[in-house]
């Protein structure tokens, strides 16, 4: 049975372990400063074993997922390095920590994979980009990782050059969508709905719309036109959004996030 270990079990690492605990076929290990973050993750009688140190976890795991903050990565790689060999793979979830730094961090003792998650991983609906370009990683191992991350949502292989775009769009995206949802919530409350009722309705509507977009194969624009009856209510709202340049502002927000990503990459 594959042994998957996660070092750092906060939002992302905890989400990954929670996602995997529901599936057979893995032995799961976790390490975090706070033992309780590992111990609460259990489902249907299966559990995650707390391991006392990062080094011990790296010794026992086949797949070592690093989900600590980017500034903690170098020290963490140094700490686990003695346990690394060609039978293992290190997967980093750290934003703005390049594949090259990862390779240097493991001193090329094992293959490395840079992975970018997003927040819905905590409910098993994450979207992941995996950079599978390390020459030390063979195709079967790359496919196995994609299959594992697909158990927690959607996973795609992307070249590292596209990570800033992925991160600005899909990593930051939940915040942009949630801000839009806050606007809808204000409208619902203004019209007399109770906040929790409106929030639930809006969340289900957004989820349903996203599923429709994923499953219909139609463009966003074609689907939108289907909701806009001639002389109807929706087109009045859509016209207002167009006058306020909402789509353009959304585009600019993503590009603003991309600019910040680029600043961070050069260390500002």
Q: Is 124 left (phi over 0), alpha (psi -120 to 50) or beta?
A: left
Cα-flanking dihedrals φ and ψ of residue 49, to 5°?
A: -90, 130
Tokens standing for residue 153: 């949502």
Binding of ligand NAP by 12 (CB under 6 A): yes
The correct pick among 38, 80, 93, 102 for binding ligand NAP (CB under 6 A) is 93
The correct pick among 37, 88, 103, 114 for binding ligand NAP (CB under 6 A) is 37
Binding of ligand NAP by 120 (CB under 6 A): no
Beta bridge partners of 129: 116, 156
Q: By CB under 6 A, what part of segment 172-191 binds ligand NAP?
A: none
The residue among 5 and 13 lying less far from ligand NAP, judged by its C-beta, is 13
Secondary structure element (H or E) that encloses residue 248, with its range: helix 246-265
Closest residue (Cβ) to ligand NAP? 10
The correct pick among 117, 142, 153, 173 for binding ligand NAP (CB under 6 A) is 117
Tokens standing for residue 258: 């991309």
Binding of ligand NAP by 158 (CB under 6 A): no
* Shortest separation between residue 7's beta carbon and ligand NAP, angstroms: 6
In Å, what is the CA distance from 130 to each residue of 26, 155, 163? 20, 7, 9
Binding of ligand NAP by 119 (CB under 6 A): yes
* Shortest separation between residue 210's beta carbon and ligand NAP, angstroms: 18
Binding of ligand NAP by 91 (CB under 6 A): no
Does the CA dihedral 41-47-48-50 come out positive or negative? positive
The correct pick among 34, 138, 143, 234 for binding ligand NAP (CB under 6 A) is 34
Neighbours of 124 (CB within 10 A): 16
* Three-class DSSP category at 31: strand
* Shortest separation between residue 175's beta carbon and ligand NAP, angstroms: 8
The correct pick among 4, 32, 41, 91 for binding ligand NAP (CB under 6 A) is 32
The residue among 74 and 222 lying less far from ligand NAP, judged by its C-beta, is 74
Beta bridge partners of 48: 28
Beta strands in 34-103 (DSSP E): 42-43, 46-50, 63-66, 89-92
Secondary structure element (H or E) that encloses residue 165, with its range: helix 163-166
Name the site residues for ligand NAP (rule: CB under 6 A): 8-13, 31-34, 37, 54, 67-70, 72, 76, 93-95, 116-119, 171
């Amino acid at each position: 049975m594959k042994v998957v270990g996660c070092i750092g079990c906060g939002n992302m690492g905890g989400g990954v372990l929670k996602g995997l605990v529901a599936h057979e076929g893995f032995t799961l290990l976790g390490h975090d400063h706070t033992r309780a973050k590992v111990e609460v993750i259990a489902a249907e009688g299966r559990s995650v074993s707390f391991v006392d140190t990062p080094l011990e976890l790296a010794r026992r795991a086949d797949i070592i997922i690093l989900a600590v903050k980017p500034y903690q990565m170098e020290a963490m790689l140094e700490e686990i390095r003695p346990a690394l060999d060609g039978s293992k793979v290190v997967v980093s979830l750290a934003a703005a920590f390049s594949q090259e730094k990862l390779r240097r961090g493991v001193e090329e003792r094992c293959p490395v994979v840079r992975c970018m998650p997003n927040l819905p991983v905590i409910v098993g609906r994450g979207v992941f980009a995996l950079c599978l370009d390390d020459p030390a990683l063979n195709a079967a191992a790359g496919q196995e990782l994609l299959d594992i991350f697909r158990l927690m949502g959607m996973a795609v292989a992307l070249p590292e050059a596209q990570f800033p775009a992925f991160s600005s769009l899909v990593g930051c995206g939940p915040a942009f969508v949630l801000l839009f949802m806050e606007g809808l919530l204000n409208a619902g409350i203004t019209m007399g709905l109770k906040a929790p009722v409106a929030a639930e309705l809006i969340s289900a509507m957004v989820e349903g719309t996203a599923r429709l977009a994923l499953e219909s194969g139609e463009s966003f624009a074609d689907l939108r036109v289907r909701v806009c009856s001639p002389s109807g209510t929706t087109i009045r709202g859509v016209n207002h959004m167009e006058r306020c340049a909402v789509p353009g502002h959304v585009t600019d927000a993503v590009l603003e996030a991309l600019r910040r990503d680029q600043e961070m990459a050069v260390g500002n």
